[in-house]
């Protein structure tokens, strides 16, 4: 084990796979000489050469469509979108081709898209979004949203190994803020399995990504409420069994996410709980999410947009008192 | 003024032999063109019989362009043919009965009823199934070329698009990538002069689509798409150039879409005189006459090929009609691939 930031763990996972498997290559904007906008691939081009760490033109369509074609020819592309927001430019290639090719034509598309996502540092409407729900809605795509350095490394390796298109949402606000012990060498973390972040008995919080830490901080402020935090780790597929088990244990649920509320993935979780665990509930399922607006730029506005610790504290109190 | 090179027609048998085709190859090309046209004509009949769900698209007028390019491909080359490129599937060896099964939504069609029309491909033959968002296949074809370049394999990727599709950003993005990286790819533009009802002067402002190639740093060539041998010669040249590390080529095959966009469309917006003029250079008839005049195709050879194709298509229709409809219970299978499926022909 060695201590790493979330960002270093992603880098370590990617380097591990590139050393092990010659089919793995990186393509993206400024990923080579510059080492990526966030420096995840710093030093990679020196180690792996310009044809395995490919600086692409500013052309997300060519990057994602190209990764899809290369994957069809037996490669294992890891494409970086400089910000997850820019994946909108490659929607067609991801959703129209990569997501559907196996189902309709029998061709697996083993690509990984690394998507630096999330807000908290005044990135504004085009550098702060959490678009995982949009893609979780598309049959054929997988969506991974790790919160810890250990999971970030293990899930990235699983994503590269996976025979399907996997969107790897790496939260920018965790990159350098979160540091923890990470196992050495190669290991995988299963896609579709939640992680129990914190056990509790009164209220369950179901969340993922940076909101895991918001929930944990809120829980620390509540001496009289025992909070269980289920970190989904992946939203497609999502660990329904782990969520339902926690619901049966606490009977009260808060679904928390940084993405906007309407049609957010939390709605799917809440609906599933209503369908499958209604009799186990002692309170209506509560959702805390961002309001239905674009992500704002100015700090007071952004603070009002991203769910804060105090919002979660209040939500947990309400549920505990119900 | 044209920037792209305007290719000359093919003349003598000697010239054709220079390009690498013997007499048997020439008759094979004729056969493939007849099968291509026959499959689409029979498809029309199936449609009128109510056996084809949804709509039906053909590439009448594009037989020489599609067969010519596919004939120039090497066995390990790959491509992304579109809905006017039936000749590519035929030339690469897709069995017609599977195409009819595909048209009718049967289980033995390459898409097993999950997708229709020419949205199909046999991976074993180096083909990739198209989507309706036509230019979207070009970045995919470019990615195949990228894989070949990374692995330093002597393989070439062929990406097809129409002059209509040339308007979209995908085309610009992937040609930029292919040009900067000198990837082993040939972009083939089937310019049939009509994007549904939109004429060329509303689609692009240059004289040729291929004129754009210069802006991406590679060669553009325009060829008469009704002249199968000229298409073959230019495609062969471009493919071998790409294989040798010379980078991409944009090859534009000029034709006319001889029918509507799809079966529902009577193409009232195409001037009658245009159809009349292009009917005079019907690719199948043009090549048949050339074989008679230049390669001594005999009456016996001609009728024998015609009979063989007829028998093949009759048998194909019979076999396709025996294929069952897909089971609704299997609908949700295969949304995600399993790890062992990575060992497909494409992944070799």
Give the predicted TM-score (pTM) of the model. 0.96
Name A28's bridge partners: A55, A80
Q: List per-residue pLDDT tens for chain B, 348 residues long.
A: 689 999 998 878 888 888 889 999 999 999 999 999 999 999 999 999 999 999 999 999 999 999 999 999 999 999 999 999 999 999 999 999 999 999 999 999 999 999 999 999 999 999 999 999 999 999 999 999 999 999 999 999 999 999 999 999 999 999 999 999 999 999 999 999 999 999 999 999 999 999 999 999 999 999 999 999 999 999 999 999 999 999 999 999 999 999 999 999 999 999 999 999 999 999 999 999 999 999 999 999 999 999 999 999 999 999 999 999 999 999 999 999 999 888 766 655
Q: Please, are residues A222 and A316 in contact by the beta-carbon 8 Å criterion?
A: yes
Packing angle, helices B283-294 and B63-72, rounded to 10: 60
Name A206's bridge partners: A230, A255
* Overall average pLDDT of the A77-106 stretch: 96
Summarised one tens digit per residue, pLDDT across range B297-337 is 999 999 999 999 999 999 999 999 999 999 999 999 999 99
Tell whether A59 lies on the interface with B, counting CB pairs under 8 A. Answer: yes
Out of A77, A104, A142, the one facing B111 most closely (by C-beta) is A104
Catalytic member of A93, A102, A127, A197: A127
What 8-state DSSP symbol labels residue B127?
B
* Interface test mutation site (partner A, options B337, B344, B348, max chain A beta carbons within 10 A): B337
Q: Give residue B263's Cα distance to chain centre.
A: 19
Out of A51, A69, A108, the one facing B337 most closely (by C-beta) is A108
Alpha-carbon dihedral angle through residues B224, B228, B232, B235, given to the nearest 10 degrees: 40
The interface pTM score, or ipTM, of the predicted complex is 0.96
Q: Decide if B129 and A110 are in contact by the 8 Å CB cutoff.
A: no
- Give the pair of three-digit tokens for residue B159: 């990406």
Cα distance between residue B235 and residue A209, in whole Å: 51
Tell me what pLDDT residue B2 has: 83
B126 backbone φψ class: left, alpha, beta (φ>0; ψ -120 to 50):
left
Tell whether A55 lies on the interface with B, counting CB pairs under 8 A. Answer: no
Strand B219-224 relative to strand B249-254, pairing? parallel
Q: Which residues of B touch A56 (CB under 8 A)?
A: 177
Cα distance between residue A169 and residue B175, in whole Å: 29
Q: Give the residue from chain B lying closest to A161, CA to CA.
A: B339
Identify the burial level of A290 via C-beta atoms within 10 angstroms of its C-beta, where 0-12 means exposed, 13-18 middle and 19 or more buried. buried
Cα distance between residue B235 and residue B189, in whole Å: 11
Site of tokens 């610790």: A309
Out of A75, A92, A142, the one facing B150 most closely (by C-beta) is A75
Strand B157-162 relative to strand B78-80, pairing? parallel
Cα distance between residue B171 and residue A318, in whole Å: 55
Strand A142-144 relative to strand A234-236, pairing? antiparallel
Q: Decide if A66 and B338 are in contact by the 8 Å CB cutoff.
A: no
Out of B119, B139, B157, the one facing A62 most closely (by C-beta) is B139
Q: What is the mean pLDDT of chain A?
A: 97
* Interface test mutation site (partner A, options B157, B165, B336, B345, max chain A beta carbons within 10 A): B336
* Interface test mutation site (partner B, options A24, A57, A62, max chain B beta carbons within 10 A): A62
* Overall average pLDDT of the A194-221 stretch: 98
E-assigned strand segments in chain B: 5-6, 78-80, 157-162, 185-191, 194-195, 198-199, 219-224, 249-254
Q: Output the CA torsion sign for B10, B13, B14, B17.
A: positive
Q: How far apart are the CA of A59 and the nearest CA of chain B, in angstroms?
A: 6
Packing angle, helices B299-322 and B283-294, rounded to 10: 140
Tell me: pLDDT of A69 over 60: yes
Q: Count the Cβ atoms, other than its own, within 10 Å of residue B263.
A: 17
Summarised one tens digit per residue, pLDDT across range A4-35 is 999 999 999 999 999 999 999 999 999 999 99
Q: Decide if A69 and B147 are in contact by the 8 Å CB cutoff.
A: yes
Q: Give the residue from chain A lying closest to B181, CA to CA.
A: A56
Q: Please, are residues B96 and B260 in contact by the beta-carbon 8 Å criterion?
A: no
**Cα angle A175, A181, A183; round to 5:** 105
Tell me: pLDDT of A201 over 80: yes
Q: Decide if A107 and B177 are in contact by the 8 Å CB cutoff.
A: no
Tell whether A144 lies on the interface with B, counting CB pairs under 8 A. Answer: no
């Amino acid at each position: 084990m060695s201590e790493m930031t979330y960002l270093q763990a992603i880098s370590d996972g990617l380097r591990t796979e590139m050393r092990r498997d010659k089919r793995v290559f990186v393509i993206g904007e400024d990923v080579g000489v510059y080492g990526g906008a966030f420096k995840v691939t710093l030093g990679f081009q020196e180690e792996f050469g310009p044809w395995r760490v490919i600086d692409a033109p500013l052309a997300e369509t060519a990057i994602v469509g190209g990764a899809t074609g290369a994957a069809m020819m037996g490669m294992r592309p890891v494409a970086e979108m400089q910000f997850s927001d820019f994946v909108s430019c490659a929607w067609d290639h991801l959703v129209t081709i990569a997501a559907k090719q196996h189902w309709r034509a029998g061709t697996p598309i083993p690509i990984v898209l690394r998507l630096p996502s999330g807000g908290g540092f005044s990135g504004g409407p085009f550098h702060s979004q959490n678009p995982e729900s949009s893609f979780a809605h598309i049959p054929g795509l997988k969506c991974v949203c790790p919160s810890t350095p250990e999971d970030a490394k293990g899930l990235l390796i699983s994503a590269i190994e996976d025979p399907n298109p996997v969107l790897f949402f790496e939260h920018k606000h965790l990159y350098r803020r979160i540091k923890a012990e990470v196992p050495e060498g190669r290991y995988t973390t299963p896609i579709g399995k939640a992680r129990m972040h914190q056990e509790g008995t009164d209220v369950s919080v179901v969340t993922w990504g940076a909101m895991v830490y918001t929930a944990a901080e809120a829980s620390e402020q509540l001496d009289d409420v025992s909070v269980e935090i289920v970190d989904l780790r992946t939203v497609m597929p999502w660990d329904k069994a782990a969520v339902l088990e926690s619901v049966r244990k606490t009977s009260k649920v808060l679904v928390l996410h940084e993405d906007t509320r309407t049609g957010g993935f939390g709605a799917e979780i809440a609906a599933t709980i209503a369908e499958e665990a209604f009799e186990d509930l002692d309170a209506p399922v509560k959702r805390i999410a961002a309001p239905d607006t674009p992500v704002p730029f100015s700090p007071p506005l952004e603070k009002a947009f991203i769910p804060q610790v105090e919002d979660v504290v209040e939500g947990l109190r309400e549920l505990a008192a119900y | 003024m044209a920037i792209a090179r305007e290719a000359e027609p093919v003349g003598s048998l000697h010239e054709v032999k220079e390009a690498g085709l013997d007499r048997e190859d020439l008759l094979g090309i004729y056969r493939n063109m007849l099968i291509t046209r026959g499959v689409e004509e029979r498809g029309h009949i199936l449609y009128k019989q109510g056996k084809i769900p949804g709509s039906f698209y053909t590439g009448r007028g594009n037989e020489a362009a599609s067969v010519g390019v596919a004939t120039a491909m090497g066995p390990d080359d790959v491509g992304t043919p579109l809905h006017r490129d039936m000749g590519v599937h035929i030339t690469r060896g897709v069995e017609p009965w599977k195409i009819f099964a595909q048209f009718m939504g049967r289980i033995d069609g390459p898409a097993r009823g999950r997708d229709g029309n020419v949205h199909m491909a046999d991976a074993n033959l180096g083909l990739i199934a198209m989507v309706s968002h036509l230019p979207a296949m070009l970045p995919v074809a470019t990615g195949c070329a990228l894989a070949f370049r990374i692995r330093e394999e002597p393989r070439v990727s062929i990406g097809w698009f129409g002059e209509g599709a040339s308007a979209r950003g995908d085309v610009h993005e992937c040609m930029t990538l292919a040009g900067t990286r000198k990837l082993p790819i040939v972009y083939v533009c089937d310019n049939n002069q009509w994007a549904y009802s939109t004429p060329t002067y509303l689609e692009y402002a240059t004289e040729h689509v291929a004129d754009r190639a210069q802006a991406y740093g590679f060669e553009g060539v325009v060829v008469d798409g009704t002249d199968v041998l000229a298409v073959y010669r230019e495609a062969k040249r471009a493919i071998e150039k790409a294989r040798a590390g010379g980078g991409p080529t944009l090859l534009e095959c000029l034709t006319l879409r001889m029918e509507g966009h799809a079966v529902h469309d009577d193409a009232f917006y195409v001037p009658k005189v245009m159809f009349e003029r292009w009917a005079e250079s019907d690719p199948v008839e043009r090549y048949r006459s050339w074989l008679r005049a230049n390669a001594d195709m005999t009456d016996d050879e001609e009728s024998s090929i015609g009979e063989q194709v007829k028998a093949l298509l009759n048998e194909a229709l019979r076999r396709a009609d025996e294929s069952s409809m897909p089971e609704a219970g299997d609908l949700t299978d295969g949304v995600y691939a399993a790890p062992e499926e990575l060992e497909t022909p494409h992944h070799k």
